[in-house]
Amino acid sequence: MSEEKVRRTAVVTGGGGVIGRAIATALAGDGHEIALWDLDRGALDASRASICESHPDAFVSTHALDLTDDEAVTTAAATSASRHGGIDVLVNCAGVFYLTPIDDLDMAAWDRMLGINLRAPVVCIRACLPSMVERGGGAIVNIASISAVVARQANLAYSASKAALVRVTQDLGLDLAPHGIRVNAITPGSTDTPMIRNYDDPDAMREAMLRGSLEKYRIGIPLGRLAIPEDHAAAVAFLVSDAARHMTGQNLVIDGGQTLA
């Protein structure tokens, strides 16, 4: 009897962003159909073009939405499930970062950061769940940050959102195990992204992050370089694969040893 391999579909939120695009590219390379969700229509189109350039056979759909709009998330899940025939993988990668010093704490900024970084991943999981249950299982990866595990100055809201996201990962690992749905997280360390490339002196910025001499990134990187988006993509590709079939509720730290000191 011939065994027909069912193609898996992965939703990647923040799929227009730098790390989301790298993750989607890796998953497409592993044979997944891809549903990219993002606020930014132009970034979505650019991600789709870039993925299809690397993997011409990839099936990539795009959905522009604001993840803080619960109804829009429900619609995106239904649309993606219908376009792709179901959802097997969800990568919660969309996120925002800005500093929130306690002496000048803007509670609207607090609400927005926790809304996008913490509440939205839970809403996305809830929306994709029925399709995963119907498929008989699935894999979810939440993109946290080293701010979940180490303190940084003026980083209150971002740290709170990412630490809670790791905790959500553990709780849902337990809650969703009976459905055969695994829930894991990755914790990226300081990553070479446009934030650095757009800086006045990108090389000086990289060096400061590497050595931990910049106040905001005060922890150095023992392995001697900043992370690149592909480091995180490889970890996500592993976590959603059958090789990680007995892992749930875990948090893989991808930081070149940044949090060891």
Contact residues: ligand NAD, CB under 6 A = 14, 16-20, 38-40, 43, 66-68, 93-97, 116, 143, 145, 188, 190-191, 193
Nearer Cβ to ligand NAD (14/220): 14
Specify whether the CB–CB gap between 133 and 88 falls below 8 A. no
Contact by Cβ (8 Å): 200, 207:
no
Contact 99, 31 (CB under 8 A): no
Cβ atoms 142, 183 nearer than 8 A: yes
Residue 217 falls in the annotated catalytic set? no
The residue (of 63 and 135) whose beta carbon lies closer to ligand NAD is 63
Give the nearest distance from C-beta 251 to ligand NAD in angstroms.
12
In the complex, least distance from residue 37 CB atom to ligand NAD, rounded to whole angstroms: 7
Complex with ligand NAD: residue 66 or 215, whichever CB lies closer: 66
Locate 36 and state its tokens. 């990219």
Q: Go through 41-78 and write b for each residue having 16 or more CB atoms within 10 A of its CB, e for each that does not.
A: eebbeebbeebbeebeebbbbbbbbebbeeebbeebbe
Residue number, nearest CB to ligand NAD? 17
Our CB check for ligand NAD shows the closer of 85 and 202 to be: 202
- Contact assessment for residue 124 and residue 90, using Cβ atoms and an 8 Å cutoff: yes
Which residue lies nearer to ligand NAD by CB, 116 or 252?
A: 116
At closest approach, how far in Å is the CB of 94 from ligand NAD?
4
* 28: exposed, middle or buried (Cβ count in 10 Å: 0-12, 13-18, 19+): buried
- From residue 211, give the alpha-carbon distance in Å to each of 31, 231, 245, 258: 38, 20, 37, 10
Measured from the CB of residue 163, what is the shortest distance to ligand NAD in angstroms? 12
**Rounded to the nearest whole angstrom, what is the least distance from the CB of residue 216 to ligand NAD in the complex?**
11
135 vs 206, which CB is nearer to ligand NAD? Answer: 206
Minimum Å gap between C-beta 111 and ligand NAD is 12
DSSP 154-217: TBHHHHHHHHHHHHHHHHHHHHHGGGTEEEEEEEE-SB--HHHHTSSSHHHHHHHHHHT-BTTB
Q: Please identify every residue annotated as catalytic.
A: 158
